[in-house]
Amino acid sequence: MKIAIPSNNNINISRHFGRTKGFVICEIENDTIIKKEYTQNTFTGHAQGLHSDHDHNHEHGQGNHSHDGIFNAIGDCKIVIAGGMGRKLYNDFEQKNIKVFVTKEKNIDSALNLFLNSELDNNSDSCCSH
């Protein structure tokens, strides 16, 4: 199983998935992390400077904003652990059968340990509505 975690520094979880500077991709086998790598975010529109806070409106269906870059960035990951994201992205993950944990945990290693012990919090109601 593979997990994607947005991070600006390879230590802490980014508070906004699409604006992150990079992604930690972890491969898990038998409840053990066997591979963990950090890649720069060159995929999302926010990271490329293509979207400002006010140039799209997901909630009302306006604007032309695709999350294809995010799906390319995380590849075949089936789980996402994030500090926050927009509701539209959260829904898009669900439609692709990718389980999302929106956690209050800040540290990547702590979040992974909590996840492996089935103790990671999930606050999906905290997704922002853009």
Contact (CB, 8 A) for 34 and 28 = yes
Query: CB neighbours of 125 closer than 8 A, spacing ≥ 6?
Result: none
Q: Give residue limits of the domains in the chain.
A: 2-126
Please give the pLDDT value at position 128.
Answer: 57
**pLDDT tens digits for 98-118?**
999 999 999 999 999 999 999
Contact (CB, 8 A) for 103 and 123 = yes
* Residue 36 CB coordination number (10 Å): 16
Give all strands (DSSP E) within the chain, no chain letters: 2-7, 22-29, 32-40, 79-82, 99-102
As a CATH number, domain 2-126 is 3.30.420.130
**pLDDT tens digits for 17-61?**
878 899 999 999 999 999 999 988 887 655 555 454 433 444 334
Q: Which of 85, 90, 97, 127 is nearest to 1 (CA)?
A: 97
Q: Which of 30, 4, 34, 26 is nearest to 98 (CA)?
A: 4
